[in-house]
Structures are given as structure tokens and as C-alpha cells.
Amino acid sequence: MVAFQKIADSIILGNAKLARDLTEQALQDGLSPQEILENGLIAGMNVVGVRFRKNEIYVPEVLISARAMKAALENLSPMLTQTKVKPKGKVILGTVKGDLHDIGKNLVGMMLEGAGFEIVDLGIDVSPEKFASAVEQENANILGMSALLTTTMIGMKTVIDTLAVGNLRDKVQVIVGGAPVTQHYCEEIGADGYAPDSASAVDLVKALLDSK
């Protein structure tokens, strides 16, 4: 029987081949895709996130781990879609205008997708109008915005204001994240939630949907 810890370690080490193989083996052992995802892949990525924040590892290691996670998820995704009746919810994601940094946003998208959510990824440098029209058209539950720079982060408020003006604010719950973003800033601009890393973003989305 493959131990979850081994899968998590393969993600932490960023060994894509090992992560894929172990996931495969765990499925053959009869473990459920959900368990493998949560106790293996996400648990591993959690450690990566904590180590990155503590400056123990740097961007290259995070990218390598993300790649391993993606490789393992490719194995798991078909099974996850089979087992669920419909997506748990729909999440729109993007980095705010002027911000081209998408490592964090991509991680959040990958984790949420793995956890059974449908993702609409608007990409980088997304204008408030583009966010608003996605909210209008996609019928999503959550809008997630990301920014790496303090100078672009203020664009989050513009997006929320744009939603309000278009009478769209009540259509979605807004979550924010990225290096300079804080819980305080989240509250200041009237967002519904903040998560410090991609694993907590999954918990946050689940909690927000449960509370609705």
C-alpha cells in the first residue's frame, strides 16, 4: 500500500515521474482519488507553501513541485470527474491589471480543479471590465483575484467597485490573494475572503460555499 506521505514527499521534492507513478499505484491499491488528492498531493503542496513563505525554498523549487502536482493530477483528474456528479462550484480566476505574475494564481487554479471545482482562468493582466463581464456571463460562485505587487494590488478594489457599479457584486463571492495581500486589506476593500496560500484557498472556497 502506498503511503500518502510518500506521495506528498514526491510533490515536495518535485519528482514528477515519481508523483505520477505513486498516484497510479495508489489508485491500483484501491485508494480513492479524493483521498490521494487531499492527503497526498495537497498535503505535499501545503508543505511547499509553508517552506516558501519561510524562505527555506525559492521560486524554482515551487515551480518544480507545481509541475509534479500537475503530472499527478493528470492521472487523477479523469477519475475525479467520473466520481462526482457535477462540479462543486465554479471559480473565476485572474491576476489584476498590470500584474503579470501568475505562479500563485496557477497553483490555486490547479488545487481547486483537483478539489472538484470548475475553473474559468482569465489569465494575467485582467482588466476590471473583463472580470465584470466574466462574472456577468459565467454564473460562477467565486471570483478570485491575485496580485504580486503592492502597486497593482490596489486594482482589486477597482474590480470590486466595477462589480458594484454593474450590479454584479451580489452574484459572486470575491476572494483575494498574493504576496502583499493581507486579511486586513481584504476587509478594507470589502472582499469576502483571503487565503495566504493555495491550499488554504481551497479551504476558503469550500467554507464560503458552505456558508451560503
Partner 1 sequence: MRKSYLERLKEGTLLADGAMGTRLQSKGLSAGECPDRWNLTNSEKVKEVHREYVLAGAESLITNTFGGTRTKLTQCGYPEKQWEINFRGAEIAREIAGDDIYVVGSIGPMGKFLAPFGDMAEADAARDFKEQAKALDAGGADVLQIETMTDLNEIVIAVRAVKESTNLPVIASMTFDKGQKGYRTVMGIDVPTAVAALIKENADVLGSNCGNGIDELIEIMVEMRRYTDFPLLAKPNAGIPVIQKGEVVYTQGPDYFAARVQKLVQAGATVIGGCCGTTPDHIRAMALELNK
Which residues in this chain contact partner 1 in the complex, by CB under 8 A?
54-61, 63-64, 97-100, 124-125, 127, 150-155, 157, 185, 188
Q: How far is the CB of 85 from partner 1 (least distance, A)?
A: 36
DSSP single-letter state for residue 54: T
What cell was used for 191? 472582499
Q: How far is the CB of 78 from partner 1 (least distance, A)?
A: 25
Query: What strands, in cross-sheet order, belong to the sheet with 118-121?
Result: 118-121, 90-95, 142-146, 173-177, 193-194
Q: How far is the CB of 95 from partner 1 (least distance, A)?
A: 10
Q: Based on CB atoms, which residue is closest to partner 1, 25 or 127? A: 127
Q: How far is the CB of 171 from partner 1 (least distance, A)?
A: 24
Whether 81 and 34 have beta carbons less than 8 Å apart is answered as: no
Q: How far is the CB of 38 from partner 1 (least distance, A)?
A: 27
Q: Based on CB atoms, which residue is closest to partner 1, 24 or 125? A: 125
Q: How far is the CB of 148 from partner 1 (least distance, A)?
A: 10
Whether 11 and 48 have beta carbons less than 8 Å apart is answered as: yes
Q: Is 62 strand, coil or helix?
A: helix
Torsion, Cα 152 156 158 163, to 10 degrees, reads: 150
Q: Based on CB atoms, which residue is closest to partner 1, 134 or 153? A: 153
Q: Based on CB atoms, which residue is closest to partner 1, 72 or 153? A: 153
Dihedral angle sign, alpha carbons of residues 130, 134, 135, 140: negative
Distance CA(36)–CA(73), nearest Å, equals 10
Q: Based on CB atoms, which residue is closest to partner 1, 50 or 208? A: 50
Strand partners, 176: 145, 194
Distance CA(170)–CA(15), nearest Å, equals 43
Q: Based on CB atoms, which residue is closest to partner 1, 5 or 183? A: 183
